[in-house]
Structure 1
Amino acid sequence: MAVLLLVLLLALLFAGLGFVVKVLWWVAIVVLVIWILGFVFRSADSAGTRGRWYRW
């Protein structure tokens, strides 16, 4: 009985990890798109050169 519960617990753990990894892939894709758009749409500063759109 304990082995069956351990196997079920491991199955739930791996299913949960698979869901989290899939969600993290979507988050990574969204961040990548925002990062690329930031380079495309960055504004010019007062000197006429293109400045950084981030602060680090």
Structure 2
Amino acid sequence: MLIKIIGAIIVIWLAFTVIGFVFKAIGALLIVAAVATVGVAAYGAIKGKSHRQIR
């Protein structure tokens, strides 16, 4: 019985570890995506394509 309890605790601990890693990776990817979006927007603003007309 004690081995089952210890096993369940280890499985729960591993699950939380994996979930934490996934959320940390998603957070890092969101930061990278935000920086890339701001970079592309800044590049577009600096390049200055405001002379074109809408057809």
TM-score scaled by structure 2? 0.73
User: C-alpha distance in 1, partners of 2:22/2:35?
Assistant: 20
Larger RCO (alpha carbons 8 Å, 6+ apart) = 1
Name the amino acid aligned to 2:32: V
Alignment of 1:15-30 (within 5 A): 15-30=17-32
Unaligned runs of at least 5 residues, structure 1 = 50-56
Question: Which residue of structure 1 lines up, in the alignment, with residue 39 of structure 2?
Answer: 37
Deviation of the 1:26 alpha carbon: 0.8
Bigger radius of gyration: 2
Note the C-alpha offset of 1:25: 1.0
Return the structure number with greater helix share: 2
Structural RMSD (CA): 1.5
Sequence identity (%): 19
Q: Which amino acid aligns with 2:19?
A: L
